[in-house]
Structure 1
Amino acid sequence: MKVIQLLPALNSGGVERGTLDLARALVSAGHESIVVSSGGRLVAQLEREGSRHIALPVHKKSLTSLRQVRPLRRLIQELQPDILHVRSRVPAWLTYLAWKKLSHKSRPRLVSTAHGLYSINRYSAIMAKAEQVIAISDCVKNYLLDNYRDYLHAEPETIYRGVDTSEFSPDIPSPAGWLDTTLEAFPALRSKRWLLLPGRLTRWKGQEDFIQLVAELAKSRSDIHGVVLGGAEKNKEHFAEELQVLAHRLGVAHRVSFVGHRSDIREWYRHAALVYNLSKKPEPFGRTVIEAAAMGTPIIGYDIGGPAESLRGCFPAGLVENGNLKALLETSHRLLESDEKPVLAPAFTFAEQAGRTIALYEKMLAENRAGNGACN
């Protein structure tokens, strides 16, 4: 197969990571992988791993982007791909407008991945207009069915995002000296059991609940230390200051370390006693849940959205009613005294994600050959 993925840019983020992962899997399986974007720092890695990148300005939320429809249509006619796979709204609009005027008999199959719980409007509806929509969780699938059913040509197919077990595995040795270097940088962690909350610093990610939890646990445990891993969003640095003020007010400033954004998150999972996902509103998926599960570290999370699906699949013992701080405290005490470990379910591995995505492509192409592929 020849597959073209389209997204705004290749800099950083879950969509970009998913694009590179699938591109690598396509190449490994002997398919031809092409990515269209406005460019970015990940282009070099994409090309190094065997895919071709084509730069087009398909990222701007502006009517001027409509000028890219004809060049994109010419590119599709020139490349003759089997699959067009869109991953974001602006590229999805441009691709759809370019694609729908191509001959029904020869045009590629059109797939979208819904990575989020998009705002409910006609602009976002484009993600539901592909011939087949992939939802990254049942939470996203149900959201699409509830809000975009009239646009869907087929029921969305849930294909969970998967963790790469060649990157996240307790069998991979720690980098030499990692623990010593980390303890030198954060000496308060020495001889403690780490409670880890990864995620960017924003109000609905649960950092306030986490600090309150540490304060409650500290009343009866001298061996625990909270770790808030993640940086503040641009123009929201004041929230990081608010969290530190909260820790001081609750008397646990010496029990909570703010370690910022990290590129070595695997090692923090490895050395943590517990990992938390405390998002207060539904998230489309829970990557930190499956990464921690892959490392064999118990996870506690609120029973809401995509992260709850990951927990039910890998570690249901860690599910807590959304916002229930008493249950959060009780579950933390219980798991700190338990030997229970998560087991990464196959559905949450990247091998499964890639295999099911490629199988979906092949099914759609088989429908074409049978004369059943149709979407206007």
Structure 2
Amino acid sequence: MKIVQLLPALNYGGVERGTLDVARGLVKAGHESIVISSGGRLVTQLEAEGSRHITLPVHKKSLSSLLQVAPLRTKIRELHPDILHVRSRVPAWLTYLAWRRLPRETRPRLVSTAHGLYSINRYSAIMARSERVIAISECVRDYLTQNYARYLQQPPELIYRGVDTSEFNPGITPPADWRQQVESEFPALRNKRWLLLPGRLTRWKGQHAFLEMMANLKDLRSDVQGVIVGGAEPNKEHYAEELQQRARELGIADCVTFTGSRNDMPYWYGESALVYNLSQRVEPFGRTVIESAAMGTPVIGYDIGGPAESLRACFPQGLVAPGSAEELLETTNTLLDSDARPILAPEFTLDTMVRRTLSLYRSLCQTPPGK
């Protein structure tokens, strides 16, 4: 098969990671993989892994982007792919407008992946108008079914995002001097059990709840250190300062370490006693949950949205009621004294995600075109 994936850009993020994962799987299975985007830092990796990249400005949320419909249609005719796979709303609109004017009998089949809980309007409805729609979690599938049933040609196909078990597994050990270097950079981590909250610094990711928990834990445990890993979003650096000020107000400035962004996350997961996902709002998926589970590190998270689905499958002991400070503290204390470890469920592996995606492509190619 020849597969073309379309997304706004190839910078870092869940959509981009999913695109590269599928592209790599296609190449490994002997198929032809092409990605169309406006470019980005991951183009080099994509091409090094055997895919072709075509740069087109399919990223701008502007009426001027409609000027790209005709060039995109020309490019589709030229490539003559079997599948067009869209992963975001702007490229989905441009692709749909280009695709629907092609002869039905010979045009490629159209697939979309809904990576989020999009706002309910006609603009977002485009993600449900493909011939086949992939939902990355049950909550996304149910959201699409409840809000976009009139556009769906078939029920959404549930294909979870998958973790690469060659990169995240209990056998992964850091280099011999890794912990020494980390503790040299962050001396407060020495001789402590790490309680890790990974995720970018943004108000709904739960850093405030984590700080409140650390304040309540301070008098109960002297052997733990809170670790907040993640950088602030552009133009929101003040939030990092706000969190550090809050730690000082709670009297736990020496009990919480802020590391900023890191590119060695498997080691942080593996060296931590507990990992947390405390998102305050419903998230479509919880990648930090399955990465921690893959490393064998216990995870604690609120019982809402996509992260809760992963926890129920891999480590139900870590589920706590949304917003319950008392239950969060109690579960932390219990798991710190427990030998319980998560087991990554097969449906959350990268191999399963790629295999099921390719199976969907094949089944669509073997069925006659619909309306």
What range is the shorter-chain TM-score in?
over 0.9
2:357 matches 1:361: no
Paired residue for 2:128?
128
Contact 2:172 2:266 in 1 (8 A): no
| Partner SS for 1:69 | helix
Contact 2:159 2:357 in 1 (8 A): yes
2 CA distance for matches of 1:220 and 1:50? 53
| Partner SS for 1:300 | strand
Show CA shifts across 1:334-362 (max 9, x none).
00000000000000000000000000011
Name whichever of 351-360 and 239-248 sits farther off.
239-248
Which residues in structure 2 correspond to 1:135-284 (within 5 Å)? Answer: 135-284=135-284
Contact 2:84 2:108 in 1 (8 A): yes
Paired residues in the alignment total: 371
| Partner SS for 2:367 | helix
2 CA distance for matches of 1:374 and 1:261? 46
Paired residue for 2:73?
73
Paired residue for 2:370?
374
2 CA distance for matches of 1:263 and 1:54? 27
| Partner SS for 2:50 | coil
2 CA distance for matches of 1:142 and 1:117? 10
**1:85 partner letter:** H
Show CA shifts across 1:152-196 (max 9, x none).
111111100000001111212312311000000011011110000
| Partner SS for 1:360 | helix
2:296 matches 1:296: yes
Paired residue for 1:352?
352
2 CA distance for matches of 1:237 and 1:52? 36
RMSD over aligned CA atoms reads 0.8
| Partner SS for 2:194 | strand
**2:145 partner letter:** L
Structure 1 residue 42, shift from structure 2 partner: 1.0
| Partner SS for 2:120 | coil
**2:74 partner letter:** R
Paired residue for 1:311?
311
| Partner SS for 1:367 | coil
Contact 2:279 2:302 in 1 (8 A): yes
Show CA shifts across 1:62-87 (max 9, x none).
11111111111111111111100000
Paired residue for 2:20?
20
Paired residue for 2:30?
30
Paired residue for 1:108?
108
Structure 1 residue 29, shift from structure 2 partner: 0.4
**1:246 partner letter:** R
Q: Tell me, which stretches of 5 or more residues in structure 1 are unaligned?
A: none
Which residues in structure 2 correspond to 1:44-83 (within 5 Å)? Answer: 44-83=44-83
Structure 1 residue 21, shift from structure 2 partner: 0.9
Paired residue for 1:91?
91
Name whichever of 73-82 and 305-314 sits farther off.
73-82
Percent of aligned pairs with the same residue? 67
Show CA shifts across 1:233-292 (max 9, x none).
122222111111111111111000000111111111011000000001000000000000
2 CA distance for matches of 1:161 and 1:177? 32
**2:370 partner letter:** A
2 CA distance for matches of 1:172 and 1:267? 8
Structure 1 residue 121, shift from structure 2 partner: 1.2
TM-score of the aligned structures, taking structure 1 as reference length: 0.97
2 CA distance for matches of 1:129 and 1:360? 16
1 CA distance for matches of 2:363 and 2:149? 22
Contact 2:24 2:49 in 1 (8 A): yes
TM-score of the aligned structures, taking structure 2 as reference length: 0.99
1 CA distance for matches of 2:169 and 2:66? 45
Name whichever of 55-64 and 332-341 sits farther off.
55-64
| Partner SS for 1:275 | strand
Contact 2:7 2:87 in 1 (8 A): yes
1 CA distance for matches of 2:320 and 2:173? 32
Show CA shifts across 1:302-345 (max 9, x none).
00000000101110000000001101111001000000000000
2 CA distance for matches of 1:332 and 1:11? 35
1 CA distance for matches of 2:214 and 2:118? 34
1 CA distance for matches of 2:249 and 2:102? 63
| Partner SS for 2:285 | coil
| Partner SS for 2:54 | strand
Structure 1 residue 210, shift from structure 2 partner: 0.4
**1:344 partner letter:** L
2 CA distance for matches of 1:149 and 1:86? 19
